[in-house]
Structure 1
């Protein structure tokens, strides 16, 4: 059997040389019904200015549109450019999910470093070069470009580190496999570094796989990680935001962690004047009442439930006025 072949579907073997020394970087592309986007995606790989050896590893997760034909067309174009293209996939009627496709694309690739790219996104020409240069001296880190850290198509890491963290969860549609991998990366001591340039055009559209993951699923995983990573080490804390997000976080905590909440704090006089937040859903009698304080009267550590881009710098100024240290005195949950 071809070493890149999907053993569950021998009718769709991987294509590629697979011979010679490993590439410096493998661009990892899972794809499903991406004919509207794939041409520009692969063109952006073609235009990379990376001076090392580059390969594309693409896994077709049972597409029913013209994706397979586009892949064949681009294979010859890329290889004429000196970029090997390894193609795997299956023809089953049901896609097996992004996590599955990413894992298979990685397994069939050879690169010492992995550059993640979704088939509906576009890289800037300098992306691979700049992230590779940043990653070489820091092999236990994930590198992103300017923008939200958790958006996986901006990630770049060594193969060795990926293998240490472990493959993506393959639970199929609705699973935030990138978020779960990121948390495992942090658990195992991995670092996060950002190349402060815009290196990717992230396309947000109605057919994007991200829409299959519910906000409730993401929220529950984030809260679980917060409790595991931070709250288990704090005997007490204050939730910074007496509004909707702060109250939602309080209600989402385990009973043990709710007991640790000393107060809510805020800058909004209307919320502060209420005096207390009453947890109406509690089965305790009397129902718990949590004080609402002005942030200058509250005690750290704080869980910050305020989005940074909504305050015009006000939150940062308030934190700075208290001489707090991030990670010790406060943790962002926004």
Structure 2
């Protein structure tokens, strides 16, 4: 293993359309480091300033005109490219060989792992095989249809060196620019203190998978690595939860370092929404609802469709803990929700519906964010509650 090597992990299935733009963006990473080194001017700086440095201070330090020898130490990394070709049927295999030769001209190793089974194995399987071929202490995950922006690896590597137990993400720009605006706004503007709190939204991990860079030990702490169940599996969310369950941290570089492409053939569209719902529900049951103050009772915010679905999907033992629904709709307030048990062929629960101002914490909030021109967020903020302690978002 090479301590100063960042292994770029790529899986590809019929990706000839994206290979050139993706791999050109990887080459830019080396160019960006060389240019910045040429622009830096030596400046005296005491080593004591680097002790116990946090992420933001470190990034500011690397980007500033600090002592040249110190910066070179922080930026001294090599890259290699590790690609898993998941049984592509187009011209992917030939293009990968051409790029292997191009990378070799730049003294960048490129390892190609071929799936020769005749059947696609899926993204999780491919990532595991590419990582097996990797020699770096650091892993940078890159989707073939996305592009690294200059200094992506430089900035994330600088942060990862001091935070070997963290998944390091970054902000991104969407292409086309007007696609998934609400999602992009949430992912890019989410407060860093909430990166381990807002983990039960339908948006998935709070730092998106195509932006991840981490020390290899983050990956090795997860038994069997990425889930290999194949097509339709949210392997990124499964890995993200496993990382958090083992005390792993989540961090983000607050610069846009990735062009994140949106298109109909993206892997995201292979994931069934109910699969993600059930995965989130199971994690919530195991890590939130079984603990105080939740196990003594809680309120569901939203007496509408999503709130009732959440109630129906709760195990019987958890349904008993629901004190009330709360809402803002005057047509629902002061009434009750009658739950009909399909198996028992009878109504089994009668849950009161109260105004949100009268709701008793903790609150399980089943409201989607950024949909009511700020009205829901204003109502929630008016209660002066603490996220994670008094309420959890399950949106």
User: If the length of structure 2 is used for normalisation, what is the TM-score?
Assistant: 0.75
Q: Give the whole-Å Cα distance in 1 for the aligned partners of 2:302 and 2:284.
A: 16
TM alignment of 1:175-324, pairs within 5 A: 175-233=233-291, 234-235=294-295, 236-272=297-333, 275-281=335-341, 283=344, 285-324=346-385
| 8 Å CA contact 1:38, 1:70 repeated in 2 | yes
Aligned position for 1:43? 24
1:200-245: CA deviations, max 9, x gaps? 2222322222222211111111111111111111221111112221
Shift of 1:286: 4.3
Residue 145 of structure 2 corresponds to residue 120 of structure 1? yes
Residue 219 of structure 2 corresponds to residue 162 of structure 1? yes
Aligned position for 2:210? 153
Shift of 1:172: 1.2
Distance 1:23 1:294, change over 3 A: same
- Aligned residues between the structures: 314
Q: Give the whole-Å Cα distance in 1 for the aligned partners of 2:10 and 2:377.
A: 38
Shift of 1:284: 7.5
Q: Give the whole-Å Cα distance in 2 for the aligned partners of 1:312 and 1:54.
A: 45
Gap runs ≥5 in structure 2: 34-74, 172-183, 188-205
Structure that is richer in helix per residue: 2
Equivalent of 2:129, from 104, 109, 115?
Answer: 104
| 8 Å CA contact 2:339, 2:347 repeated in 1 | no
Q: Give the whole-Å Cα distance in 2 for the aligned partners of 1:139 and 1:313.
A: 38
| 8 Å CA contact 2:302, 2:327 repeated in 1 | yes
Aligned position for 2:196? none
Aligned partner of residue 93 in structure 2, secondary structure: helix
1:225-273: CA deviations, max 9, x gaps? 1111111112211111122211111111111111111111122323325
Aligned position for 1:5? none
Distance 1:244 1:150, change over 3 A: farther
Aligned partner of residue 196 in structure 1, secondary structure: strand
RMSD over aligned Cα atoms: 1.9
Aligned partner of residue 192 in structure 1, secondary structure: strand
Q: Give the whole-Å Cα distance in 2 for the aligned partners of 1:74 and 1:262.
A: 60
Tell me which of the two structures has the higher relative contact order, counting C-alpha pairs closer than 8 angstroms and 6 or more residues apart: 2
Shift of 1:22: 4.7
User: If the length of structure 1 is used for normalisation, what is the TM-score?
Assistant: 0.88
Aligned position for 2:387? 326
32-41 or 198-207, larger mean C-alpha shift: 198-207
Q: Give the whole-Å Cα distance in 1 for the aligned partners of 2:249 and 2:133.
A: 26
Residue 163 of structure 2 corresponds to residue 138 of structure 1? yes
Q: Give the whole-Å Cα distance in 1 for the aligned partners of 2:207 and 2:299.
A: 26
Distance 1:69 1:23, change over 3 A: farther
97-106 or 322-331, larger mean C-alpha shift: 322-331
Distance 1:326 1:87, change over 3 A: same
Shift of 1:79: 2.8
Shift of 1:106: 0.7
Q: Give the whole-Å Cα distance in 2 for the aligned partners of 1:204 and 1:186.
A: 27
Shift of 1:293: 1.4
Shift of 1:285: 4.8
